């Protein structure tokens, strides 16, 4: 009710408003103002010429800047919040400027021809057309269209989506498989089949709102009648009158249950990937569909293995003699716990050996695999016995000749 009274005050503050979406009334001729005193005439003409200056924005400002400036000016100069003698006149000038600059066609005409292109005045011919929602925005930060935007939905409503977290081991993430996730979600009540009504109870249309879920209030003003919508206080927007609600779900139509969900993990997933399981979220109300379950994945590390996309890397330590002479070593790969790899003679520290096709599969493509890289670390002995040292010295001297 307070909002409707404020609406009436706002309507009377500007002469006259044209409601958005409503039939436009005949324009009321502007009252002839007394001829201004010469001392004030220059200021009045300047304000009529420069609507941008009236709103305090730069010439050529976009619609967003114009609206923001109008809201700030309305909060400062509206007669309901400013009781100074000049507030009413100042607010009318601001409203007239906004009525022009917020209309793309009028703004274009004004930018090109000045007030002449508007029919001789900033308001475009006597009537001032201002969107009431912009004035409500300046005070409330939202639209002034009554209760329509807050109306409860009277039809089926989809259930909420849910999130679950699942940690995978390294190889399961690479090759995929079946996993189980335990969740708690809302399911359709089996007793009332999701209606929320006790079986056998009588359901009729709400007598207050006649099944519409909302009630209308009409406020009459000198410039016409205004309608506002509010949620029906009797049925709370459902539009129904129910004799008895389901006792199992307390009339909600859903009940909470815990369950295990079996999930197929595709090959090649990694930390940060998520899976969608359709229909495993919360059940909808009033016959609406269930939401979805989103599973966010994380992958545990595997000792000795590093993964970069589809490629994996491990390290192999060989002694200096095997690095010089070459050797055959056994390593672990993703597929096999023991795999023989040849270390060529003369292998240098940090050398990478490539095992083609032994890496991880691409996401969802088991046949497309990356590579396995083996980084060779050469272990150089820190101490040698007498005979070993002589042999190494002989080898060194022979290599230098």
Please choose, from the candidates 264, 259, 214, 257, the residue with its C-alpha nearest in 3D space to the C-alpha of residue 239: 214
Tens digits of residue pLDDT in 3-24? 544 445 444 444 433 333 333 3
Please choose, from the candidates 100, 270, 256, the residue with its C-alpha nearest in 3D space to the C-alpha of residue 171: 270
* pLDDT for 375 beyond 90: yes
- Tokens for 87? 């507030």
- 3-class DSSP state for residue 160? coil
Give the count of alpha carbons within 13 A of 397, CB side only. 6
Tens digits of residue pLDDT in 305-348? 999 999 999 999 999 989 999 999 999 999 999 999 999 999 99
* pLDDT for 125 beyond 50: no
Tens digits of residue pLDDT in 131-183? 544 554 444 444 444 433 333 445 678 899 999 999 999 999 999 999 999 99
Residues whose CB falls within 8 Å of the CB of residue 131, separated by 6 or more in sequence, listed in order: 20, 102
pLDDT at 84: 86
Q: How far apart are CA 347 and CA 323, in angstroms?
A: 5
Residues whose CB falls within 8 Å of the CB of residue 214, separated by 6 or more in sequence, listed in order: 147, 151, 229, 230, 231, 232, 237
Q: Is 369 or 223 the better-scoring residue by pLDDT?
A: 369
Work out the pLDDT band at 223, boundaries 50, 70, 90.
low
* Rg of the chain (C-alpha set): 39
Residue 338 and residue 330 in contact, taking contact as beta carbons nearer than 8 Å: yes
Range with the largest mean pLDDT of 19-28, 120-129, 283-292, 339-348: 339-348
pLDDT at 222: 62
Please choose, from the candidates 227, 242, 233, 243, the residue with its C-alpha nearest in 3D space to the C-alpha of residue 213: 233
Q: How far apart are CA 297 and CA 305, in angstroms?
A: 19
- 3-class DSSP state for residue 379? strand
pLDDT at 356: 96
Work out the pLDDT band at 224, boundaries 50, 70, 90.
low
All structural domains of the chain, each given as residue ranges with its CATH number in brackets, are 2-145 (1.10.287.110), 306-400 (2.60.260.20)
How far is the first Cα of the chain from the last one, in angstroms, to the nearest whole number? 106
């Amino acid at each position: 009710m307070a909002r409707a009274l404020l609406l009436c005050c706002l309507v009377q503050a500007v002469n006259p408003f044209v409601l958005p979406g409503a039939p436009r009334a005949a324009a009321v001729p502007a009252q002839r103002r007394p001829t201004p005193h010469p001392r004030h005439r220059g200021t009045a003409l300047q304000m009529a010429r420069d609507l941008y200056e009236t709103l305090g924005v730069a010439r050529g400002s976009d619609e967003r800047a114009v609206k923001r400036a109008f809201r700030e000016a309305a909060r400062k100069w509206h007669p309901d919040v400013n009781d100074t003698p000049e507030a009413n006149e100042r607010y009318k000038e601001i409203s007239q400027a906004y009525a022009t600059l917020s209309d793309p066609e009028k703004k274009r005409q004004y930018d090109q021809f000045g007030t002449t292109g508007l029919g001789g005045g900033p308001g475009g011919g006597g009537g001032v057309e201002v969107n009431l929602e912009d004035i409500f925005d300046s005070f409330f930060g939202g639209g002034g269209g009554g209760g329509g935007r807050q109306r409860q939905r009277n039809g089926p409503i989809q259930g909420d989506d849910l999130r679950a977290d699942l940690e995978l081991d390294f190889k399961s993430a690479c090759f995929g498989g079946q996993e189980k996730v335990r969740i708690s979600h809302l399911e359709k009540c089996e007793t009332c089949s999701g209606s929320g009504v006790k079986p056998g109870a009588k359901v009729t249309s709400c007598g207050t709102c006649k099944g519409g879920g909302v009630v209308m209030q009409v406020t009459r003003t000198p410039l016409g009648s205004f309608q506002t919508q509010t949620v029906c206080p009797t049925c709370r927007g459902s539009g129904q009158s129910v004799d008895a609600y389901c006792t199992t779900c307390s009339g909600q139509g859903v009940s909470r249950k815990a369950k295990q969900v079996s999930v197929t993990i595709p090959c090649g997933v990694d930390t940060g990937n998520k899976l969608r399981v359709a229909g495993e979220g919360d059940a909808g109300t009033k016959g609406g569909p269930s939401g979805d379950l989103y599973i966010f994945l994380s992958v545990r590390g595997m000792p000795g293995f590093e993964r970069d996309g589809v490629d994996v890397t491990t390290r192999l330590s060989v002694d200096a003699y095997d690095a010089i002479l070459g050797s055959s070593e056994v390593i672990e790969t993703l597929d096999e716990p023991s795999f023989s790899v040849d270390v060529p003679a003369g292998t240098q520290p940090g050398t990478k050996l490539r095992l083609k096709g032994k890496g991880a599969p691409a996401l969802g493509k088991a046949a497309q695999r990356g590579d396995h890289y083996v980084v060779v670390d050469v272990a150089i002995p820190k101490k040698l016995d007498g005979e070993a040292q002589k042999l190494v010295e002989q080898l060194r001297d022979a290599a230098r000749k």
